[in-house]
Amino acid sequence: MEQGGAREDVRPHVSAGGPDASAGSPEGARVPEQARGEHTHDAPGGPQVPRPVQRHSVRSQILDALRSALARGELAPGHVYSAPALGARFGVSATPVREAMQRLAVEGAVETVPNRGFRVSDRGPREIAELAEVRALIEVPVVLRLARSVPPAGWCALRPLADATVAAAAVGDRVAYAESDRAFHRAVLALAGNEQLVAVADDLHRRSQWPSANGPSGRLADLRADAAEHTALLDALIAQDLEAVRSLVAEHFDGANR
């Protein structure tokens, strides 16, 4: 994505089965500059139009597609996007796009700009560090408690989820990694039997995955290191090595600042 005032048209791909996470970066388009040096991304940059999504799940598919575009860095922090323009790219009206953006605003990914659209939040290092700290305060004690009570077979059942994070990181698929990473953490916390805990932790986790102004969330090397920690943590939990679990879980959340 071009920086320093250059414009790029963002065209996340959606089909009846959801967003196409393998799609490449969209073609660029020039639009008039707005006040304060910001940009409102409007007209599509080419004749290609994505296929309209199924009407019965428009809102959820648009939300998934926008989240994927954020994870890939196709919706740039600090830039403003209008609901009608994004709706035109999806082949839907502005209403489901606006509803999806409002949901993203609740999650902290975007903020409303009256009469213009939605600005992608520009997170700094301090916010990222604060999210990591809060996640650690919630999740670390739970994992340490579960390490003393869950039998090895319970941890073995989570192996496919850990493997999914490794596979996504290996090919640099940020969208798949974000989903598999959260799925692994949800499954671990679900063993505590507290649905509210899982919901709160997952919301914080999703917020921590939104990209910063420096680009998509996490370097590829960091994703691979994070995925490897999932595997190492599971190995320690299965072996009931509490000291290793304590060290690994602390390192895992400290690495969330990367």
- The residue extents of the domains of the chain are 14-120, 125-257
Measured in degrees and rounded to the nearest 5, phi and psi for residue 52 equal: -60, 145
Q: Do residues 199 and 191 make contact, with C-beta atoms less than 8 angstroms apart?
A: no
Query: What's the confidence (pLDDT) of residue 213?
Result: 57
125-257 and 14-120 share a CATH fold: no
Element (H, E) at 245: helix 242-254
pLDDT confidence of residue 174: 87
Q: Mean pLDDT in each 10-residue stretch from start to end of the chain (258 residues)? A: 39 40 33 35 42 64 90 86 90 92 91 93 87 94 96 97 96 91 97 97 90 59 91 96 94 71
Instruction: Give the per-residue pLDDT at 15.
Output: 39
Q: What is the pLDDT of residue 133?
A: 93
pLDDT at 18: 39
- Residue 138's contacts (CB-CB under 8 Å, 6 or more residues apart) are 197, 200, 201, 204
Give Cα separations from 156 to 114, 122, 180, 235 (angstroms): 50, 39, 17, 9
Secondary structure percentages of the chain, helix, strand, coil, to 5: 60, 5, 35
Query: What is 125-257's CATH superfamily?
Result: GntR ligand-binding domain-like (1.20.120.530)
The listed CATH number (1.10.10.10, 3.30.830.10, 3.40.720.10, 3.40.640.10) that belongs to domain 14-120: 1.10.10.10
- Report strand pairing: 40-41 vs 80-81: parallel
Rama region for 37: left / alpha / beta (φ>0; ψ in -120 to 50; rest): left
DSSP code for 35: G
Surface-to-core class of residue 130, CB atoms within 10 Å of its CB (0-12 exposed, 13-18 middle, 19+ buried): middle
Determine the pLDDT at residue 253. Answer: 83
Question: Of 10, 67, 86, whose CA–CA distance to 209 is shortest?
Answer: 67
- The per-residue pLDDT for 170 is 94
Question: Which pLDDT does position 14 carry in this prediction?
Answer: 44
